[in-house]
Structure 1
């Protein structure tokens, strides 16, 4: 079902605590709900719950295939660099301390990386498992429809 239709139906049933997230794990915002479709929901359809229960929809863009299960956002880095290869640049940045300096370079061409949720990390420095002590982080990335070199 389309995300907007699912939200409308839930509201018609009396639910008002509605949220949604990117099932692909790219940390995209569902700004135009009509451009997204529902892949999962936090409460199974047909289950009887109070209408003040929070209902969360997992969604992807209309032209995308729903993943078998919601992709998880990377865990917060803490003191050790996680493996962020394959994650969206936006989700990778979100896993790092907000004070971390991050540089992202196009791995395929000489383009600017502007909408970070549309780019996937190809390489990272420091390497996964490296102690984080405030050093800058470098990513190379390509757009999702491209392959890392």
Structure 2
């Protein structure tokens, strides 16, 4: 019956309000926590929040090999490999054990070793104080994620 009334009103040119969306809007207005959660969502699908896990670093034999972005890997660079962050992302990597942190640029895919979240260049590993151990517990926080146009321009 309600559908027939709504259809009749539409035929007459009278718009019926969308009650479900206005109810949702009213609920969001009453719940500031939902507003903050919506505002805190990353603006880019690849812009993940901080990730905690084990970092490792590239072996010396990878120096000069091509990375996912087409450039050659330089062991003295701040290049990093991450599975999901968009290529070109700048991220802050913090060693949980000693508090040291560095900024890296995601230019490759990986790591392919199990239970690793990021692979770093040997230089970056040295700066984080993890080179002798080979791995370290880190927090990876995206700082700047390129938009889609920037990512395609890098190729």
- Structure 1 or 2: larger helix share? 2
Give me the TM-score of the superposition, normalised by structure 1: 0.30
Look at both structures and tell me which one has the larger radius of gyration over its CA atoms.
2
Give me the TM-score of the superposition, normalised by structure 2: 0.29
